[in-house]
Amino acid sequence: MKRVEPGHTVLVHAAAGGVGSLLCQWANALGATVIGTVSTKEKAAQAKEDGCHHVIIYKEEDFVARVKEITSDKGVEVVYDSVGKDTFEGSLAVLKLQGYMVSFGQSSGVPDPVPLPALQAKSLFLTRPGLFHYTVTQDELLETAEDVFANVASGVLRVRVNHTYSLSEAAQAHADLENRRTSGSVVLIP
């Protein structure tokens, strides 16, 4: 898979979420220009703190038009999409030739079937990674964990725990996640 490099532009949906926050920080640390989408002004402020150079409040702006404006119609090298149905086709539309879309969630629902002609039109790459396929062996797991924790220890990544719930409140935590009432990581306390 193509790596994010200095000078690349990336789009991170749900930029104030647990994973989105970390992706913004990491891409910024790698020297990329980071565009993030969020739902509120409060989440926009957090996304800025986490390294977004441009933040789009998708309830107020069309993210496709805004990304095209930000990039002078050039598009982005990579899209990280944890939203799914509501952002899928727009995400494909803002990718550059041979761009990569990493679809790793579906908080808004499962996208419609993949429009193969849309992929072919710009020779796009689409992936739906699963963590367990990248950490099959103990060595892979330890290497991945070491990389993440080294970046946390060095300050490149800051894990935001903005919401904690007791284990008995797991259903409420899930409902709050689904309804986009959280930002940062959500932790269940046993």
The pLDDT value given to residue 178? 80
Range of the domain at 151: 138-189
Question: How is residue 19 written in tokens?
Answer: 């994973």
Asked whether residue 113 falls in the same domain as residue 143, the answer is: no
pLDDT of residue 74: 97
| CATH for 23 | 3.40.50.720
Q: Is residue 29 domain-shared with residue 52, that is, in the same domain?
A: yes
Whether residue 1 has pLDDT greater than 60? no
**Which DSSP string corresponds to 81-148?**
ESS-TTTHHHHHHTEEEEEEEEE---TT-PPPSP-HHHHHHTT-EEE---HHHH--SHHHHHHHHHHH
Local confidence band at 17 (pLDDT 50, 70, 90 cut-offs): very high
- Same-domain status, 42 and 13: yes
What's the alpha-carbon Rg for the chain, to the nearest Å?
17
* Residue 13, pLDDT above cutoff 90: yes
Average pLDDT, the chain: 93
Q: State phi, psi for 2 to the nearest 5 degrees.
A: -60, 135
- Residue 3 located in a structural domain: no
143 and 124 inside one domain: no
Q: What is the pLDDT of residue 108?
A: 83
Answer yes or no: do 161 and 107 share one domain. Answer: no
Which tens digit of pLDDT belongs to each residue from 59-112? 999 999 999 999 999 999 999 999 989 999 999 999 999 999 999 988 888 888
- Asked whether residue 160 is domain-assigned, the answer is yes
Q: Cite the beta strand spans of the chain per DSSP E.
A: 9-12, 33-38, 54-57, 76-81, 95-103, 125-127, 161-166, 185-189
Q: By three-state DSSP, how is residue 13 classified?
A: coil
- The answer to whether position 103 is within a domain reads yes
CA 19 to chain centre: 6
Residues 121 and 41 in one domain: yes
63: tokens are 């993210």
pLDDT given for residue 2 in this prediction: 66
Domain co-membership, 109 together with 151: no
Domain edge (last residue) among 77, 96, 128: 128
Q: Which of 93, 109, 128 is the last residue of a domain?
A: 128
